[in-house]
Amino acid sequence: MRISSSAAQRLAPVAKIEIKMSIAMVLLMFGAAAVAGDLEKARDTQDRATLERLAAQAMAEAQKKPADPGAQYRLALAESYIAEVAIEQRDKSQAHTAAEAGIEAAKRAVAMKADVAEYHRLYGTLCGQAVSANVLQGLKYGHCAQDEVNKALQLDPRSAMNYIGHGVGNYYLPPQFGGGIDPAIKDFEKAAELDPQSSEAHLWLGLALRKANRNAEARREFQKSLDLNPARVWTRQQLEKTPAQ
């Protein structure tokens, strides 16, 4: 099928617009991935100063783009990493402050784009971090932690991160409330099955196995996690504190 020269001239601007839009989308996705990568590097080395700087940048972006769910998600992610490191270093005050700030951003992202599993996963994770930092917040955030991670699993049952989030909930939730170590181990094993290269899956599986007094197996999982991500300070600390037997 031939296109006339006049038709080609009319289509040319449209094609240019589509190309520009495609390039813009690629650059946007690349930028988001780069930000997430920087956050992970800072989390791995427990570099709280860099995490705070990245969170401030994310906050500025989220304020400029209040109707952009991606901007709200990136702010929530930054606050979640701050809370994670604060929990690792037993700074419950900062962990709780960061988790609550992240919850508000994640809530906005979910409200704008309710069909994105990762938004629900992060929202639930932040609620869980708020409870971990302050158990008295269990009544306020406990249901959110469970419901949002369950929603993420419903939307994307093939996501290793969703199973990790579910497993972390079971890890901290007492058996009488439906949690416990056995279901947590199953969740982390499923996550490792779905993504064998997930250092997080092996890290959390190691933590759950150690809690179940299966120290030799726990050490193997910590080592697998370190092989996949040698920069993770907390994983190395967990391996060092776990008895060989």
pLDDT higher than threshold 80 for residue 137: no
The domain of 200 spans 177-245
pLDDT band per the 50, 70, 90 thresholds, residue 34: low
If DSSP states are collapsed to H, E and C, what string results for 58-107? HHHHHHHCCCCHHHHHHHHHHHHHHHHHHHHCCCHHHHHHHHHHHHHHHH
Are residues 142 and 51 part of one domain?
Answer: yes
- 162 belongs to a structural domain: no
pLDDT, position 86: 96
- 167 belongs to a structural domain: no
Q: pTM value?
A: 0.84
- 168 belongs to a structural domain: no
Helix and strand numbers (H, E) in the chain are: 11, 0
Cα distance between residue 129 and residue 134, in whole Å: 9
In this structure, the number of other CB atoms found within 10 A of the CB of residue 234 comes to 19
Are residues 96 and 50 part of one domain?
Answer: yes
Are residues 80 and 21 part of one domain?
Answer: yes
pLDDT higher than threshold 60 for residue 75: yes
pLDDT band per the 50, 70, 90 thresholds, residue 6: low
In this structure, the number of other CB atoms found within 10 A of the CB of residue 245 comes to 6
When mean pLDDT is compared over 31-40, 132-141, 189-198, the highest value belongs to 189-198
Are residues 70 and 101 part of one domain?
Answer: yes
Radius of gyration, alpha carbons of the chain: 21
Are residues 186 and 107 part of one domain?
Answer: no
pLDDT, position 35: 64
Q: Tokens standing for 242?
A: 């776990």
- 228 belongs to a structural domain: yes
pLDDT (mean) for 11-33: 44
90 Cβ neighbours under 8 A, 6+ residues apart: none
Report the CATH number at residue 136: 1.25.40.10
Are residues 120 and 44 part of one domain?
Answer: yes
Are residues 184 and 111 part of one domain?
Answer: no
- Share the mean pLDDT of the chain: 88
Are residues 134 and 30 part of one domain?
Answer: yes
- Cβ(46)–Cβ(4) under 8 Å? no
Are residues 137 and 43 part of one domain?
Answer: yes
pLDDT (mean) for 110-121: 97
